Structure 1
Amino acid sequence: MTKHAFPFSAIVGQSEMKEAMILTAIDPGIGGVLVFGDRGTGKSTAVRALAALLPPIQAVAGCPTNAATLKDCPDWANIIDDQVIEKPTPVIDLPLGATEDRVVGALDIEKALTKGEKAFEAGLLARANRGYLYIDEVNLLEDHIVDLLLDVAQSGENVVEREGLSIRHDAKFVLVGSGNPEEGELRPQLLDRFGLSVDVGSPKDIDERVEVIKRRDAFETNTGPFMTHWTGEDAQLRDKIMQGRTALPAVKTPDSTLRDCAELCVALGSDGLRGELTLLRTARAYAAFNQDGEITREHLRHVAPMALRHRLRRDPLDDAGSSARVARTVTEVLG
């Protein structure tokens, strides 16, 4: 059994899912990705492959929250050396059965018993800071963990007040969730926290299915040459992501684009203004990825389905799916 993660670039099809993840790598402020679809469609594979694709970060050595500078590292970590090292962007799994203590952190029992010290043991939210937090089967997550995530996603800070501890630390991460819609729906409050939503399905094209089998078989039986080829492809994609990050601040946003965003969301009946803001950020990231200097209607058309499909109110008189409703409204509003 190979210990390598399947390369991101080698995933066949599922272009919208891969693109959504790339755009959040260019602008983490987009707010994360929700991937819903059938079993065995590459959802978990894509997230785990993303870890190897992401550019590394600069972080203080030994800091449990991956702080970029010593002053950003929390006092309870007791880090005094300001040595900065390069490390992979964290991609942390949050298992369904994880306890609250494991997620937010808790009293370090070992130190309390052996040394009589009241020390904090960082949880998954600390480890995910400046990276990605991945939840498989997110629609099955327990309600009290969902409530925790909503609080942290809103504030960007994890607060622990218990067992005589009063702890705060940064917890800014891109939330990625995947699941099968047949196993239950997502709470509306959590659904709204995902910037982008992607539907994936099993490929219907025979040639595409054959290519999936061929690549997976090569990955498992001829790992060395397979990884050599696709690691090179991943490196090129990583370079494009870095170029997109560099270009992002310079992308211009015409007033006409802002009006288009507002008209689209009003026509779709999107609640609040999060839809417009996410649509704008996603279109800007897409423009930066393509090295375009200004957001155009073409950019909006391309990203509107992933930015807006999960923000629609249900219409019992409309049998069309959310993707079809977005596509129809985009055509009506943008031409």
Structure 2
Amino acid sequence: MKDQKIIQKSPPIFPFTAIVGQEEMKLALELNVIDPKIGGVMIMGDRGTGKSTTIRAIADLLPEIEVIKDDPFNRHPTDEVQKKFETELIKIPMVDLPLGATEDRVCGTIDIEKALTEGIKAFEPGLLAKANRGILYVDEVNLLDDHLVDILLDSAASGWNTVEREGISIRHPAQFVLVGSGNPEEGELRPQLLDRFGMHAEIRTVKDPELRVRIVEERTLFDLEPYIWIEKYKDQQDLLKQKIIDAQKLLDKVEMTYDFRVKISKVCSELDVDGLRGDIVTNRAAKAYAAFQAKKTVSIDDIQLIIVLCLRHRLRKDPLESIDSGYKVKKVFQDIFEIS
């Protein structure tokens, strides 16, 4: 009976390994969970292309994490040294940020009256606290208030959230993979905000009729018998989960030659990319992909596969230019790395 209750509380989630196509989006998400310091993913594409399904699926795929029991910030027990805490294993937090969310809902609030009358810092945690050590997903991020996007990006970059009210300040860990999605028809994100996302994946509606039929059939069968369908993909899910865990452990040992690092910076310079974020993210993503392939050395193929995802959104937009930014990145990469 107890097991029955657990099943009811946990709605079935479509398996990540069952998702057909959308390889760019899947790769960007995999690399960000291997190395969260890549800086998140911006996914732009048509409506109904499985963005939300894929993001929930990657969160469900990840291994459980150990936290201090009932801690509002999902802190790891080693972060606390004052006394012994009871711990528990929880699923990786997956937090949805609604479009109408206020700053208080996102960052948390301080009860000033309680703080003044009782002399304690009465803090009500927000969504950033819940997302610590997990994934924060913002659908239609291009429609979100710029001020809120700034707060999200600052927290994602620093790993901390600070709330200040009437001279009282609270700071808590907020380390998460920020995933934004949107439809370009509804407006682009401002360039200075877009640039702060580590990677940018573009997804399009599948045109191939046979592939479309396969996607519809997979989804229909999942809706009919979700637990049977999840069981069917269990071995593939377990293999991918282990591959991600192994990559996380290997990441610090992966090396890239000085020549490759110089050439990556040459590509960024040739493309007139502002700042050094493009260089840093490309280096990180290439190492994460090498680790994902169980390698300790980055190859040209590794860089070639991830460089468009890391740089396409950092190029200055010329409204008169018809060349796709991804094509420009590929062309400059091939010239500098001397690939025919």
**In the TM superposition, what is the alpha-carbon distance from 1:18 to its structure 2 partner?**
0.4
Q: Kindly indicate whether the alpha-carbon contact (under 8 Å) linking 2:112 and 2:165 is maintained by their aligned counterparts in 1.
A: no
**Alignment match of 1:20 (pick from 15, 19, 28):** 28
Who is 1:64 aligned against?
A: 72
Among the aligned pairs, what percent are the same residue? Answer: 48
**In the TM superposition, what is the alpha-carbon distance from 1:168 to its structure 2 partner?**
0.7
The whole-number CA distance in structure 2 between the counterparts of 1:134 and 1:120 is 23
**In the TM superposition, what is the alpha-carbon distance from 1:155 to its structure 2 partner?**
2.7
Q: Which runs of 5+ in 1 are unaligned?
A: 74-78
The 5 Å alignment of 1:127-276 reads: 127-163=130-166, 165-276=168-279
**Alignment match of 2:85 (pick from 82, 85, 95):** 82
**In the TM superposition, what is the alpha-carbon distance from 1:116 to its structure 2 partner?**
9.8
Structure 2 residue matching 1:66: 3-state secondary structure: coil
**In the TM superposition, what is the alpha-carbon distance from 1:231 to its structure 2 partner?**
3.0
**In the TM superposition, what is the alpha-carbon distance from 1:70 to its structure 2 partner?**
5.9
**In the TM superposition, what is the alpha-carbon distance from 1:118 to its structure 2 partner?**
5.3
Say yes or no: does 1:125 pair with 2:138: no
Q: Deviations over 1:12-43 (max 9, x none)?
A: 10011101101111111111011000000011
- TM-score normalised by length of structure 2: 0.91
Q: Which runs of 5+ in 2 are unaligned?
A: 1-7
Q: Relative to structure 1, is the Cα distance of residues 225 and 255 closer, same or farther in structure 2, using a 3 angstrom cutoff?
A: same
Who is 2:330 aligned against?
A: 327
Q: Kindly indicate whether the alpha-carbon contact (under 8 Å) linking 2:112 and 2:166 is maintained by their aligned counterparts in 1.
A: no
Q: Deviations over 1:265-319 (max 9, x none)?
A: 1121111111011001000000000012211111111101101111111234531
The whole-number CA distance in structure 1 between the counterparts of 2:121 and 2:259 is 57
Q: Relative to structure 1, is the Cα distance of residues 164 and 240 closer, same or farther in structure 2, using a 3 angstrom cutoff?
A: same
Q: Deviations over 1:65-117 (max 9, x none)?
A: 111126449xxxxx9651222211111111111111110001359988xx997
**Alignment match of 1:50 (pick from 49, 53, 58):** 58
Q: How many residues align?
A: 330
Who is 2:45 aligned against?
A: 37
Q: Deviations over 1:148-174 (max 9, x none)?
A: 223323432111111563211111111
Q: Kindly indicate whether the alpha-carbon contact (under 8 Å) linking 2:129 and 2:174 is maintained by their aligned counterparts in 1.
A: yes
The whole-number CA distance in structure 2 between the counterparts of 1:9 and 1:98 is 32
Q: Kindly indicate whether the alpha-carbon contact (under 8 Å) linking 1:129 and 1:172 is maintained by their aligned counterparts in 2.
A: yes
The whole-number CA distance in structure 2 between the counterparts of 1:81 and 1:278 is 38
The whole-number CA distance in structure 2 between the counterparts of 1:316 and 1:99 is 34
Q: Kindly indicate whether the alpha-carbon contact (under 8 Å) linking 1:107 and 1:163 is maintained by their aligned counterparts in 2.
A: no
The whole-number CA distance in structure 1 between the counterparts of 2:302 and 2:39 is 18
What residue identity is the alignment partner of 1:212? I
Q: Kindly indicate whether the alpha-carbon contact (under 8 Å) linking 1:30 and 1:281 is maintained by their aligned counterparts in 2.
A: yes
- TM-score normalised by length of structure 1: 0.92
The whole-number CA distance in structure 1 between the counterparts of 2:110 and 2:265 is 47
Say yes or no: does 1:3 pair with 2:11: yes
State the superposition RMSD in angstroms.
Answer: 2.4
What residue identity is the alignment partner of 2:210? D
Structure 2 residue matching 1:271: 3-state secondary structure: coil
The 5 Å alignment of 1:296-335 reads: 296-316=299-319, 318-334=321-337, 335=339
Q: Relative to structure 1, is the Cα distance of residues 224 and 185 closer, same or farther in structure 2, using a 3 angstrom cutoff?
A: same
**In the TM superposition, what is the alpha-carbon distance from 1:188 to its structure 2 partner?**
2.1
